[in-house]
């Protein structure tokens, strides 16, 4: 039963998780049961918020966040351009218009000054991303939002275990969202979580994720046109087991990142931007920026030939055809466009040893020579 578990859930005791799965199967309660409630409570407690609502993915959690805030057709939402397009897609799927914001001059996170220039009377929210687990300048984002009576939705999909100014990412007002995709800090295969201290939002999200319904007289009463965005009990059990080790998981990734930074320091043409102290980042991914003269595709192929997997950092949404329909053209947001073409994600594995890290750095050095 447990042969496949190490592939998707490497940080748990497989016999314990297999026991959880048997208990769930024996109970007959496969959704909305005790494992889900405990998983939500665990994540909410870590984020320091009163309410947490598990979903099928971070994308559906973002969609729920917008719906719960009443954001839809005719509205605009400012959103980080340098991100996986699911962030902007959720805004479009809600019927609103994504307004793309460039990256800051010295890193990956949203340029708050650029965001300030793009607020209009139609703007209803700022959806800010914590890329690769690096926290955005959430204090400045919140100040800007409050000055214009806007909601803040923090796409902390990659940032469980990261902090900004002593506060957990995903635990800032008004709404945070985590992802439990296999590439994230913990995984439920697929899955997400919405976090908030706002009871009104939490209540509406709870209704909307379950077909717009509430329990009534032994059945359901359907109050809104809702969605089927519920996480199941098996996923929740996987997540709950990993939450017990979250701090150890993050500490291990920080240890690896610190050593990587030391090893990369002598290399010309490679930078490691950080938006916060190393001890505040969870390093969901370890991403470097190559000099603009470097052929990244050739670097990736060179590493691949040495059995070292690497890939781009992430995308500049404005440079892709879907966002061309909104009038954007490639290169219009210059900094995120540069990052799309010049970032490189290096392997960061659990309990990565010195030999493995040195082999990656040596391969990169060869590729840059």
Determine the angle formed by the axes of helices 296-305 and 354-368, rounding to 10 degrees: 130
Residue 4 pLDDT > 60: no
Look at residue 287 and give its three-state secondary structure. Answer: strand
Distance CA 315, CA 108 (A): 11
100 with 206, same domain?
yes
129 with 265, same domain?
no
265 with 236, same domain?
no
200 with 268, same domain?
no
Contact 332, 320 (CB under 8 A): no
12 with 35, same domain?
yes
Q: Side by side, which strands form the sheet with 343-346? A: 270-271, 286-290, 343-346
pLDDT tens for 211-227 read 999 999 999 999 999 99
Contact 59, 209 (CB under 8 A): no
214 versus 9: the higher-pLDDT residue is 214
pLDDT on residue 14: 72
269 with 207, same domain?
no
DSSP string for residues in 46-63: HHT-SEEEEES-HHHHHH
Where among 199, 216, 243 does a domain terminate? 243
Domain span at residue 148 reads: 5-243
pLDDT tens for 283-329 read 999 999 999 999 999 999 999 999 999 999 999 999 999 999 999 99
284 with 349, same domain?
yes
pLDDT on residue 2: 42
Global confidence as pTM = 0.95
118 with 176, same domain?
yes
46 with 108, same domain?
yes
* H helix or E strand, kind and range, residue 77: strand 76-80
144 with 277, same domain?
no
Residue 1 pLDDT > 50: no
Where among 222, 243, 264 does a domain terminate? 243
pLDDT tens for 217-255 read 999 999 999 999 999 999 999 999 999 999 999 999 999
How many domains are there within the chain?
Answer: 2
pLDDT tens for 125-173 read 999 999 999 999 999 999 999 999 999 999 999 999 999 999 999 999 9
144 with 197, same domain?
yes
Strands 175-179 and 192-196, sheet pairing? antiparallel
Query: What CATH number is associated with residue 48?
Result: 3.40.640.10
17 with 137, same domain?
yes
Query: What CATH number is associated with residue 321?
Result: 3.90.1150.10
Where among 200, 221, 243 does a domain terminate? 243
């Amino acid at each position: 039963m447990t042969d496949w578990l190490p592939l998707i859930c490497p940080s748990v005791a497989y016999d314990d998780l297999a026991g959880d799965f048997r208990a769930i199967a024996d109970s007959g309660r496969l959704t909305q049961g005790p494992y889900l409630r405990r998983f939500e409570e665990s994540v909410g407690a870590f984020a320091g918020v009163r309410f947490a609502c598990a979903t099928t993915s971070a994308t559906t959690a973002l969609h729920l966040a917008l719906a719960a805030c009443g954001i839809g057709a005719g509205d605009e939402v400012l959103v980080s351009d340098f991100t996986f397009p699911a962030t902007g897609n959720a805004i479009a799927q809600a019927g609103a218009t994504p307004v793309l914001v460039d990256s800051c001059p010295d890193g990956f996170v949203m340029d708050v000054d650029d965001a300030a220039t793009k607020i209009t009377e139609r703007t209803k929210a700022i959806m800010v991303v914590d890329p690769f687990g690096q926290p955005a300048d959430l204090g400045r984002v919140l100040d800007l939002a409050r000055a214009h009576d806007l909601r803040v939705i923090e796409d902390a999909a990659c940032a469980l275990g990261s902090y900004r100014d002593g506060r957990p990412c995903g635990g800032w007002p008004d709404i945070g969202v985590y992802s439990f995709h296999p590439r994230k800090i913990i995984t439920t295969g697929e899955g997400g979580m919405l976090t908030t201290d706002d009871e009104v939002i939490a209540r509406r999200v709870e209704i909307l994720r379950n077909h717009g319904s509430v329990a009534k007289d032994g059945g359901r009463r359907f109050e809104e046109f809702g969605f089927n965005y519920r996480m199941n009990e098996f996923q929740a059990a996987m997540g709950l087991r990993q939450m017990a080790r979250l701090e150890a998981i993050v500490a291990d990734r920080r240890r690896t990142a610190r050593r990587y930074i030391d090893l990369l320091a002598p290399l010309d043409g490679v930078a490691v931007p950080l938006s916060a102290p190393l001890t505040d980042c969870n390093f969901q991914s370890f991403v470097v920026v190559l000099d603009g003269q470097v052929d990244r595709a050739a670097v990736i192929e060179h590493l691949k030939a040495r059995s070292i997997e690497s890939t781009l950092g992430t995308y500049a949404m404005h440079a892709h055809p879907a966002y061309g329909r909104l009038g954007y053209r490639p290169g219009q947001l210059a900094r995120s466009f540069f990052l799309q073409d010049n970032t490189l994600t290096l392997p960061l594995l659990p309990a990565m040893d010195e030999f493995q890290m040195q082999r990656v750095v040596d391969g990169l050095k060869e590729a840059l020579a």
